[in-house]
Chain A
Amino acid sequence: MSNVFIVVDFSGDKVSKTTAQLATVAARIGDVTAIILSASGKGDALASSLVGPISNVVVVESNDFAQFGVAASADGLGQLVLERKPVALLVASHAFGKEIAGRVAVICESGIITDAIDVASDLVATQVIFGGSTTVHSKVTEGCAIITLRPNSIEAKLDSATPIIEKVSLTINESAKKAIINSTQPPIKGGRPELTEASVVVSGGRGTNGDFSAVEAFADSLGAAVGASRAATDAGWYPHSHQVGQTGKTVSPQLYVACGISGAIQHRAGMQTSKTIVVINKDPEAPIFELADFGVVGDLFAVLPKATEGIIARKS
């Protein structure tokens, strides 16, 4: 059976749930080898917390990964791909994952597909492009099929894994050590999930008039991430890092709640593939209603607080 690599996605000591999603997709293609690129002494703990259909784990420990970032990780991964020749390499589709995938594509002279929402057993990748308006099926035709998979696109199999763990030591090439990471600060988290990983996203737009308190409270009642339209981030009402849309983040959660957002193409491009969409907007003509599974024509400041109470009451 063919061998498929996945890159274990983790933050600190915690393996992200994206990793099991990568494993689930990869297992359709062949035997899954999970690659851990970690700091010295950290690999075993990460390996033991893996779940999903994983048969083998390769642990590469090096302090170069933390010191030299993307280039060093890609260099190590590229060496493994060149040596073991997997048919495919699946990586999480975020800044770090896409950059690693890009560098490995160059190193291994392989084709690359980014932002897949699914990959079939015959390596055909599905992407949704142009703001959710077009579905594309494509396939890598040269080398190892390097594919980045969007978090939360598929349901993960959470079988407990009992893989064979192998430690490999590699020497990172000097050409991958040109940029140095001097210090790292973890992201400032308000206890809310990451926008691109969240299964529920509540976003505010122009209709908030700069007051995100009702949006945030509603988001917290649902355990949701908070997003914002470009109008809201450009006005300085919410950080740019929370912008959902063509020039911001693309999200595809189980539930997307758009509050006071009119729904320009710019915004729709970033949320159109959400499974269920709820819209709250004062303007009955707002184009975002075209996407709504449940639309409320009304004032978000009247609707959200009561809905927040209702959800909290139901949970207790």
Chain B
Amino acid sequence: MGNSVLLPSKGHSNLGDMKIAVCVKQVPDSWAEKKMVDGVLDRVNVDAVLNELDEYAIEEALRIVEAHGGNQEGGAHSVTLISMGPARATEAIRKALSMGANNAILITDPALAGSDALLTSKVLAKVISDGGFDLVFCGTESTDARMSVIPAMISARLGWAQLTFAGSVEVDPSSSKVSITRVTDTGVDSMSAQFPAVVGVIEKINEPRYPSFKGIMSAKKKSIESRDLASLGISAQKPWSQVIDATTRPARQAGIKIVDDGSASEKLVNFLAEKKLI
């Protein structure tokens, strides 16, 4: 069991040269009101942006290659963005490229609209295994679906080390070793693994850079390779969970509102006591 679902991976890069992939997603602006239409998120009529939590993954991948010779002219390493989404997702990908990634792969196919985490992780894992990457970086979750299962699912599909919820990452390319501190509510774990590995980063790991003017200009010339399901050898699959209904919740009714005249504390304590909250 288990092993039967593993994807074979192509040979990895030469010793010392790192090939890094970063999974990115275009999402509705997290400040915008979102709506469900026919059981799926309406992505058409809403402003779309690069998933904010992915910026930390891009930044960390760039910092790691920059600490070891870089990914720009003459640098031995590379950072490739991998994204699944509609053709429009190129807007978010350009922004991510302008931060300093080398190139991008966008998997776009009408059959992928409304796909679940299982199909998404299958598609991403296939592109990763075809690409011969050493490391894959992901944000902890997308601000739309908020499942935070994709990094774990990709790791399970590839049989690669899972190093997620990383609050710090250290990479030694010469020994192909990656170490993280995993930061969750249950504590802080110091973890390590040999390449290849899936690294998920949390938002306190770094401060993502703003794209420079030069970065924005050069991003326009960078390659975004478009792939469809057929080219990956994956057949379309219905989501394995189904939305039965989605209803807008009635707005909360505002309750008591008082202006403090010195007695608000007492009234507040009385309110809490009446509600049996003390």
A residues with CB within 8 A of B: 11, 69-71, 74-75, 78-79, 82, 94-96, 98-103, 105-107, 109-115, 124, 128-130, 132-143, 173, 175-176, 178-187, 194-196, 200, 222, 240-241, 246-247, 254-255, 264-266, 269, 272, 276-278, 280, 284, 289-299, 302-304, 306-307, 309-311, 314-315
Contacts and interface: CB of A to CB of B under 8 A. Distances in A.
Interface residues of B, number: 86
B260 A302 contact: yes
A75 B2 contact: yes
Given A132-B249, A133-B249, A254-B277, A98 B254 contact: no
A178 B269 contact: no
B245 A137 contact: yes
B265 A310 contact: yes
A101 B121 CA distance: 14
A30 to B, nearest CB: 19
A143 B204 CA distance: 37
B252 interface: yes
Interface string B164-185: 1100000000000000001111
A184 B187 contact: yes
Contact of B149 (A112, A129, A143, A289): A112
Given A99-B164, A178-B160, A264-B31, 8 more contacts: A133-B34, A136-B246, A141-B242, A175-B3, A179-B161, A179-B162, A276-B275, A291-B252
B27 to A, nearest CB: 11
B257 A297 contact: yes
A173 B161 contact: no
A85 B117 CA distance: 22
A246 to B, nearest CB: 5
B247 A135 contact: yes
A241 B140 CA distance: 13
Contact of A310 (B117, B165, B269): B269
Interface of B: 1-3, 5-6, 30-31, 33-36, 52-53, 116-118, 121, 143, 146-153, 155-157, 159-165, 182-194, 197, 202-204, 238-249, 251-252, 254-260, 264-269, 271-273, 275, 277-278
A247 B241 contact: no
A180 to B, nearest CB: 6
Contact of A182 (B160, B191, B252): B191
Contacts of B265: 302-304, 306-307, 309-310
B187 A298 contact: no
A140 B243 CA distance: 9
B185 A187 contact: yes
Contact of B52 (A134, A247, A299): A247
B155 A71 contact: yes
